Structure 1
């Protein structure tokens, strides 16, 4: 797709008149998209699967973010909030996920500009074109989108839109425990003892983890946060023991982050290494999970090598996340074969070739799909790649809103100033940052 193909948004057919832009997800990026569209005078409708806004962020609200408030508030959202008397938090302070929700996202969603257009308890099960599947080519750009919605009361209906921004995130679709990308054999038999990433082990889920042998699977920052909290639980006399199971020889993204400008993230590696050396975390490296099974009430994790196994009481799946593409089966997509991100964005973020977390400015041109007026934004736009920052998503939706408004100069003038991450995700760290 060339810039000539992106000359003007195709929103002016009469069949599209009066229809809103549908935003999937009421997290930070979805609400930022709503604020950007509001400023442009473009009608929008936000659909959130949870019963409250930012439901995924609430799930890991006990975790502190790496970014300070300076990078967490979208400029358009700030402009929507300020007339309400909203007070901006201290720009240099690191908030928890819950603080971001309660001090920023909840007040934003409650403003007169956004509140009438947000529907919670509304899961978007599928997106298509009205009266045509993905095989039909004629007239796609002038045909409304149709979104099938599952309501919290169990009923289903369909709504129409002239454009769609999918900002539904990836937290609800974690990667698998199996090194093959498939669920390990035997998982259904122990699934009740496998936790999603970032469980609240020091708070609401303390009783579940206290006194147990817990194995954390994964080599990224989610795993590191959980390991730190489990060690603290053990130090409180809970009798918890901690094993860290990783696929590679070293957890490079965590342990090789000294040059990270986000100091809270940079310090993780040193803290984890100290705990490993002190024997508070037992590391099992180069372990590829093939099968799990219940053995006398415990979980036995089998590796791909003969007789290789780890016994544990609980597993925390911190292997990362992947986009849910099932709802987009009838949408024409152009995604990278490896990371499942928009193809034009993938080279900037592919952890196999992109050794640093720095991301070049990008906007509508990199995010638009072959399906006219359909965009993937936010964490979901990164596919399976890690280290997404909210500031990146805010610039994405600013550019998309400008393009939908026909302001091509603003849409193309993407700017992004991010702290260098210093995070290498390849095994060859020599050329990193």
Structure 2
């Protein structure tokens, strides 16, 4: 929670969430974010448009290739093409002076195939629901997984969290058989010494135990087979050393291979992107010089307002999306980014007024 967010809850006599809890996303929304949303609605200074997707963003009067490195773009407004799913209509939001993209990466999962491109049939299997790309919800998704043989692809925190969710489902109903598939050999998780996040260490420890064949850590109703295989979606008949082969009949697959930003919505803006992470270049360079976002993510801090600037004046990318394909982003970094970008907006707004823009 940000200092500002905590202050708003106090002003509205809403109890602060307990600091020693580990909320799920839905719990975080109900205990914190929904209160802030009501505050913003009540303020009369903010309009929140629900059920909307931004399809494309551009400058109102300039094409992408026009006025490169020119101050002329600074005074031009943005326009955004919006789709409202509740109304099934598109419309424009126009005359926008500053635009901040905080849309994250959750709706843009990585592919599971070799080299990051889709495996054979992957796109079709996602469309048909045979591949799920997010952590299962134990209440909503139980019927999809109970009594099934499930392939789980990935070796990050999401993968072991998905295993926990499947275990929780199985303890309330039928058995679940899981084939956990990873690309690299050895233990999947690097534990942090004296980890300040005990829940993270618990997840990583459990994942490493499973990789060593200690399946009992998930209880009696989940059977886990751990398989290291490079071609993760074409493994049903692969040689596993010494001519051995494995053939597995699967019911459904969970692909937890990380996320990437959807940068197509700002194709018409002059945004300098990192060739490796797909994040904004200045911040990507700062993260790289600080160790590439590696090590313990808790030790990070914001890299300052200037790293949030792009060649497109008045346009900023914040939050998870600003880190590109890196998973090291923290909410506390996002809160610092918001403070930094408001400083930049205030400064640029004054410059626009002074120049008569």
TM-based fold match above 0.5 = yes
- Partner Cα separation in structure 2 for residue 171 and residue 127 of structure 1: 20
Q: Counterparts in 2 of 1:371-410, with a 5 A limit?
A: 371-406=312-347
Residues 1:370 and 1:169: Cα distance change in structure 2 (over 3 Å): same
Q: Counterparts in 2 of 1:79-94, with a 5 A limit?
A: 79-94=7-22
- Partner Cα separation in structure 1 for residue 110 and residue 317 of structure 2: 19
After alignment, is 211-220 or 342-351 more displaced? 342-351
- Partner Cα separation in structure 1 for residue 239 and residue 275 of structure 2: 27
Task: Return the match for 2:278 from 337, 340, 343.
Answer: 340
Task: Return the match for 1:145 from 71, 78, 97.
Answer: 78
Task: Return the match for 1:168 from 103, 109, 133.
Answer: 103
Q: How far has the Cα of 1:360 moved from its partner? A: 3.8
TM-score (norm 1): 0.69
Over 6 Å off, 4+ runs: 301-309
SS at match of 1:289: coil
Q: Counterparts in 2 of 1:185-224, with a 5 A limit?
A: 185-191=120-126, 192-200=129-137, 202-224=138-160
Task: Return the match for 2:197 from 259, 262, 276.
Answer: 262
1:26 — aligned with what? none
Q: How far has the Cα of 1:284 moved from its partner? A: 1.0
Residues 1:352 and 1:367: Cα distance change in structure 2 (over 3 Å): closer
SS at match of 1:281: strand
Residues 1:149 and 1:264: Cα distance change in structure 2 (over 3 Å): same
TM-score (norm 2): 0.83
1:52 — aligned with what? none
Residues 1:374 and 1:98: Cα distance change in structure 2 (over 3 Å): same
The 8 Å contact of residues 149 and 251 in structure 2, kept in 1 or not, is answered as yes
1:244 — aligned with what? 180
Q: How far has the Cα of 1:268 moved from its partner? A: 1.0
2:214 — aligned with what? 278
The 8 Å contact of residues 136 and 165 in structure 2, kept in 1 or not, is answered as no
Q: How far has the Cα of 1:273 moved from its partner? A: 2.7
- Partner Cα separation in structure 2 for residue 349 and residue 251 of structure 1: 26
Instruction: Give the root-mean-square deviation of aligned CA atoms.
Output: 2.7
Q: How far has the Cα of 1:237 moved from its partner? A: 5.1
- Partner Cα separation in structure 2 for residue 393 and residue 99 of structure 1: 19
Q: How far has the Cα of 1:304 moved from its partner? A: 12
Residues 1:258 and 1:267: Cα distance change in structure 2 (over 3 Å): farther
Q: How far has the Cα of 1:309 moved from its partner? A: 6.2
The 8 Å contact of residues 184 and 229 in structure 2, kept in 1 or not, is answered as yes
- Partner Cα separation in structure 2 for residue 344 and residue 233 of structure 1: 44
Residues 1:188 and 1:99: Cα distance change in structure 2 (over 3 Å): closer
How many residues matched? 327
1:24 — aligned with what? none
Q: Counterparts in 2 of 1:101-116, with a 5 A limit?
A: 101-111=29-39, 112-113=42-43, 116=46
- Partner Cα separation in structure 2 for residue 304 and residue 132 of structure 1: 57
Q: How far has the Cα of 1:183 moved from its partner? A: 1.1
SS at match of 1:268: helix
Query: What per-residue deviation string (whole Å, max 9, x for no partner) do you get for residues 170-201 of structure 1?
Result: 1000001112211111224433211122111x
- Partner Cα separation in structure 2 for residue 308 and residue 266 of structure 1: 32
1:62 — aligned with what? none
Residues 1:136 and 1:309: Cα distance change in structure 2 (over 3 Å): farther
Q: How far has the Cα of 1:210 moved from its partner? A: 0.2
